[in-house]
């Protein structure tokens, strides 16, 4: 794996720090029960996204699934990679298969 430049690491750390500070700040400005409700909705949508495979193209469920994806904050690199790889630069997807049987 190629080394990550220090500038990229620092930029990613700054992004994570900004998000980690911004989200609680926004949730604390809401009245008490609403912050918890919004957090639970985000967590529930994320859990559903992780457990339920994406619907087929053209299905009635594509639009609700996309809305749920946005609510779950599955944006950019946070999108669930159903194919089993992070990106296409890592080569083809490894499929589950039986180990080869030993010759007799």
pLDDT, tens only, 60-101: 888 888 888 888 877 665 655 544 444 455 455 555 555 566
Asked whether residue 96 is domain-assigned, the answer is no
Q: Are residues 65 and 44 in the same domain?
A: yes
Predicted confidence at residue 76, as pLDDT, reads: 62
**Distance from C-alpha of 6 to C-alpha of 13, rounded to nearest angstrom:** 10
Could you list the residue range(s) of the whole structural domain that residue 23 is in?
A: 1-30
Total domains in the chain come to 2
Asked whether residue 91 is domain-assigned, the answer is no
Q: Are residues 54 and 25 in the same domain?
A: no
CB atoms within 10 A of CB 72: 21
Asked whether residue 22 is domain-assigned, the answer is yes
Asked whether the whole model's pTM tops 0.85, one would answer: no
**Distance from C-alpha of 39 to C-alpha of 81, rounded to nearest angstrom:** 23
**Distance from C-alpha of 44 to C-alpha of 38, rounded to nearest angstrom:** 10
Q: Are residues 16 and 2 in the same domain?
A: yes
28 vs 79: which has the higher pLDDT: 28
Which residue blocks in 30-61 are alpha helix, DSSP H?
Answer: 32-51
SS3 52: coil
85 vs 15: which has the higher pLDDT: 15
Predicted confidence at residue 85, as pLDDT, reads: 46
Q: Average pLDDT in the 5-25 region?
A: 85
Predicted confidence at residue 86, as pLDDT, reads: 47
Q: Are residues 41 and 67 in the same domain?
A: yes
**Distance from C-alpha of 99 to C-alpha of 17, rounded to nearest angstrom:** 44
Predicted confidence at residue 82, as pLDDT, reads: 47
Asked whether residue 18 is domain-assigned, the answer is yes
Asked whether residue 82 is domain-assigned, the answer is no
């Amino acid at each position: 794996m190629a080394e990550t430049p220090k500038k990229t690491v620092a930029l990613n750390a700054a992004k994570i720090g900004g998000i980690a500070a911004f989200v609680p700040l926004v949730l604390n400005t809401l009245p008490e029960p609403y912050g918890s409700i919004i957090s639970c909705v985000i967590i529930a949508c994320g859990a559903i996204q992780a457990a339920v495979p994406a619907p087929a193209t053209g299905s009635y469920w594509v639009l609700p699934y996309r809305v749920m994806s946005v609510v779950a904050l599955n944006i950019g690199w946070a999108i669930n990679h159903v194919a089993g790889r992070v990106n296409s630069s890592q080569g083809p997807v490894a499929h589950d298969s039986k180990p080869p049987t030993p010759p007799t």
